[in-house]
Structure 1
Amino acid sequence: MPVDSADIVVIGGGVSGLSSAYFLARAGKDVVVVEKGTVGGEASGRNGGMISERIDEPALIPMGVESVRLWETLHDELGYPTEFIQQGRLQVAVSEEEMGELFSERDQALRHGVSVDLLDPWEIRDMIPGLSERTLGGMFSPNAGHANPQRSVQAFAWAFQDRGGRLYQNTAVTGIQVADGRVTSVETTAGTIVADVVVAAAGPQTALMAEMVGVHVPVAPARVEILATA
C-alpha cells in the first residue's frame, strides 16, 4: 500500500538532493525526499565547504560562477544560516609543474571573465606567514568562499519543509518500479511512494539507484583528507 504520493521523489538528503527539492517545491511541485540516514550524514556534511568558480575545469566554469552568485543569496532565500563567507581562495605552487598549471588556470579564468590574481612568494607569505620556503607562487581567487556544510544542508532541509515538502529520514530505497519506460513508484523501507519522476541525488550511491532501472552510471566514491587550521 502506498505511504505517500508526489509529483517528484528525490533520493538523497544531501546538498544536491535537498537543494533540488527546495527549488522544485518553490516552483510549485509536490516533492518527497527519501534519505537512508539523516540529512547531511554522508559526503554533504563531511567536506571542506569550499565554494569557487572551478577554473580548473573549463566546462564547469559557467556553473561555478553561477554557484558563487547563488551562495551569496542563500541566507536570505532559505531563511536559515549557511554561514557563507566570501574571503577568497589561495592555491599555492611548490614546483614548476604546479606553477605552470596555475598559469594555465589563470588564462582560462580570464577567458571566462573570472577575477584571479597571480601572486609571488613574498605576497603569499604576507597573507600566510610561515608558509614553506619552497613556495614559488600562487593564485588568489577573490570571489571564492566557504559555507558550513552541516548548517547549509540543514538550512535546505528546513526551507524545503517550509515549502510543504516531505522528508523521510532513515528510509532506504529498495527498488524503483517502471512501466512502459516510465517510473511509476519508488519502493522504500517505509513503503511505496507513487511518483512518475525520480531525481537520483545519492552521491556515489546514485549508481546503485540507476541500476534499479537498468542504467549504468560510472560513479565511484573517493576518500580525501582536509586539514583545518585556526
Structure 2
Amino acid sequence: MMQRIDTEVAIIGGGIVGGSAALFLRRQGVPVVLLEAALCGAKASGVNYGGVRRQGRGLEQMPLTRRAHELWGQLPDLIGIDGEYVRSGHLKLACSEADLALLEAYRDRTRGFGMNLEILGRGELARRFGWLGRDVAGGSFCPEDGHANPRLVSPAFARAAAALGADVREGVRVTSAEHDGAGFIVRAGDALEVRSRFLLNCAGAWAGRFAEGFGEAVPETSIHPLMMVTEPLPVFMDVSLGVQGGGIYARQVARGNCVIGGGRGVSTDPDYARPGRAGLGALMANAAKLLPVLRGAQVIRFWTGVEGNMPDHNPVLGPSATTPGLFHAFGLSGAGFQIGPAVGEVLSELVVRGRSSIPVDAFRIERYAAAAHGAAARPESVREQTLESP
C-alpha cells in the first residue's frame, strides 16, 4: 500500500546541500520531508577530498563562499560535531612563472573578500614548507582555508535536521516528480507519495533528470575524481595543498594519513564509479614528485565517486524558470563541500522569503535552459510551524 505524506517542502537528495537546506528550514519551523536514494551524505558529499577552501573559486562565487566560511566556523553549533574541521591554511602552488602570475592576478581580483592571500616566492616556499618538491616556482597562501572529514560532516547535516523534526527518509529513490497545478507530487515507486508546496532539487549528479522533467534540460555531466589515502606517517604537512591549473591536491590528517586526489576514475554505470587501474600509477607518481616524503609510503585505499558537473564550473542554484515553488541546487562539483552549507541556507531563504541575502542570479538555470520562459508568481508565503523546546 502506498504511503502518502503532505508537507510544506520536499527535498530530493540528502547530501550536504539537501541536508543543510533541511536543517535551515527546520530552524525556522518549516515542515520538511527529505528523500535520499542511498544514505545521507554517502554520495559525492561523503567521498570527496574534504577541502574547505575559498581560494580558487570564481568571482561570482565569492559572496557564497564567504558566507560558507562563516558557517563552517559555527559547525559544532550547527551539526553537533567538529567534523575534524581545521583551518590549516590552503597553499596553491605554481609550477611556472606564468602560473605564479595567474595567482597574483587572482589575488588582486579577489581583494575585499577576506581571504588575505599571500604570494610566496620559491625561496619563501622552501623556508616555510621544506617538505615540498623542488619543481615549484611559488604559491598563494590563504591562511584560514582548511579541510574536514566529509564522511563525518556530510551526513551530520541531515541528522541535525532530523533531530529538529525533519522527516528524513533514506533508501528512498524518487522515481517521479511533477506539479499538478496545485502542488508537487513526488513518488518513490508505488511505496511513497509526498505532496508539497515547494520542491528542492538537490539530487547531485542525478538532478539534471528532474530538471528536465520540468522542461529545463541542462548539460550536466558526471565526473569521477580519483582519490587515495596513505598509511599513517609522521606529521610533516600542516596545510592543504592544490596546484594552479589542477592536477593534484593533498592534505594530511591528525592521525598522519595523507589524503591525495588527482585524475579520474572510470564508470560504466550512471550510478557508480571505480578507481580504474589506468590512473593509479600517475596519481602515485605525481604525489611523490610533489611530496618526496611519500616515496615508499603504502597506499591503503583508492576510491572515487559520482559528482555532477556543469560546463562553466558554476552550480545551478535558484528558482525554476518554468515551475513556481521549484528550486534547483546542483552541479556543485569541485565546490560543493565548502559552499554546501551556504547553498542550503540560500534555499531556505528562497522558500521562506522568496529572496536570498546572497546574490545568486549568476547561477540561475536560465543560462542553460534557453527554452524556459519566465516562471509564474511564486506561491504565497510559507506557513511556519513553531518548534517546541526539547
TM-score band, normalised by shorter chain: over 0.9
Gaps of 5+ in 1: none
Q: Displacement of 1:212 after TM fit?
A: 2.1
- Per the alignment, do residues 130 and 114 of structure 1 end up closer, same or farther by CA in structure 2, a change over 3 Å counting? closer
> Which residue in the other structure is 1:5 paired with?
6
> Which residue in the other structure is 2:127 paired with?
126
Which structure has more helix as a fraction of its residues?
1
> Which residue in the other structure is 1:196 paired with?
197
Q: Does 1:170 align with 2:168?
A: no
Q: Displacement of 1:126 after TM fit?
A: 3.3
> Following superposition of structure 1 onto structure 2, how do residues 80-99 of structure 1 map, counting pairs within 5 Å?
80-99=81-100
Q: Displacement of 1:97 after TM fit?
A: 2.6
Higher relative contact order (CA 8 A, sep 6+): 1
Q: Does 1:184 align with 2:184?
A: yes
> Which residue in the other structure is 2:109 paired with?
108
The percentage of aligned residue pairs carrying the same residue is: 28
How big is the alpha-carbon RMSD for the aligned residues of Structure 1 and Structure 2? 1.8
- Per the alignment, do residues 40 and 113 of structure 1 end up closer, same or farther by CA in structure 2, a change over 3 Å counting? closer
> Which residue in the other structure is 1:143 paired with?
144
> Which residue in the other structure is 1:70 paired with?
71
Q: Displacement of 1:197 after TM fit?
A: 0.9
Q: Distance in 2 between matches of 1:227 and 1:138?
A: 24
- Per the alignment, do residues 199 and 84 of structure 1 end up closer, same or farther by CA in structure 2, a change over 3 Å counting? same
**What SS does structure 1 have at the residue aligned with 2:224?**
coil
**Cα offsets for 1:14-60 (capped at 9, x unmatched):** 00110011101111110011011111121001111111224440111
- Per the alignment, do residues 93 and 145 of structure 1 end up closer, same or farther by CA in structure 2, a change over 3 Å counting? same
Q: Distance in 1 between matches of 2:92 and 2:70?
A: 21
**Residue type at the aligned position of 1:187:** R
**Cα offsets for 1:136-176 (capped at 9, x unmatched):** 10010011011211111222122111110011111111111
**What SS does structure 1 have at the residue aligned with 2:153?**
helix
- Runs of 4+ in structure 1 off by over 6 angstroms are none
Native 8 Å contact 1:14 1:43 kept in 2 = yes
Gaps of 5+ in 2: 230-251, 253-257, 259-390
* Length-normalised TM-score, structure 2: 0.56
Equivalent residues, number: 229
Native 8 Å contact 1:102 1:138 kept in 2 = yes
- Per the alignment, do residues 4 and 127 of structure 1 end up closer, same or farther by CA in structure 2, a change over 3 Å counting? farther
**Cα offsets for 1:72-125 (capped at 9, x unmatched):** 101122223322111110001011231121011111222434311011122223
* Length-normalised TM-score, structure 1: 0.92
**What SS does structure 1 have at the residue aligned with 2:104?**
helix
Native 8 Å contact 2:185 2:194 kept in 1 = yes
Native 8 Å contact 2:55 2:142 kept in 1 = no
> Which residue in the other structure is 2:255 paired with?
none
Native 8 Å contact 2:183 2:195 kept in 1 = no
